Amino acid sequence: MVRKLDKEQLISKAVEAARKAYAPYSNFHVGAALITKSGKIYLGANIENSSYGLTICAERTAAFRAVLEGEKEFDAIAIVSDSEDFTPPCGACRQVLSELCGKDLSVIMNNKKGEIKEMTLEELLPFSFDKENLE
């Protein structure tokens, strides 16, 4: 699990990312901050489109940015939204994070009340589809 100081820093970065979300249709702003094993942080925000299927979530934005930069080892992702409840990754994001970041990725969720919930991706997606399923 991620140290408290690292959690707070990661949550702060996710809040910063959420401010940059483009959500004119849902008005639901989500930010994500993905930290690599080496300590580099990649931000992501949800970006909506009037053709809803073309919308992308904050978690995938962060993960794709990191992979594009050559990153392959990840420690944790923090996810925040403007909801009173925790905002876990959607199913598509869970699957992408599982493949790109690994099942042991720590998922840190922070709600508007300031509460923190931390789980592993394996706990959120116990039966992920992976390359072994293709063989």
Q: Is 90 annotated as a binding residue?
A: yes
First to last CA, the chain: 32
Say if residue 51 carries a ligand binding annotation.
Answer: yes
Which of 59, 71, 115, 118 is flagged as catalytic? 59
Token pair of 2, please?
């991620």
For residue 59, indicate whether it is catalytic: yes
Known binder of ligand: residue 49? yes
Q: Is 48 annotated as a binding residue?
A: yes
101 is in an annotated binding site: no
Q: Is 46 annotated as a binding residue?
A: yes
101 phi, psi to nearest 5 deg: -115, -20
Q: Which residues 6+ apart lie within 8 Å of 61 measured at CB?
A: 32, 43, 44, 45, 46, 47
Q: Catalogue the active-site residues.
A: 59
Residues tagged in the binding site annotation for substrate: 46-52
List residues forming the annotated binding site: 46-52, 57, 90, 93
Residue set of the binding site for Zn(2+): 57, 90, 93
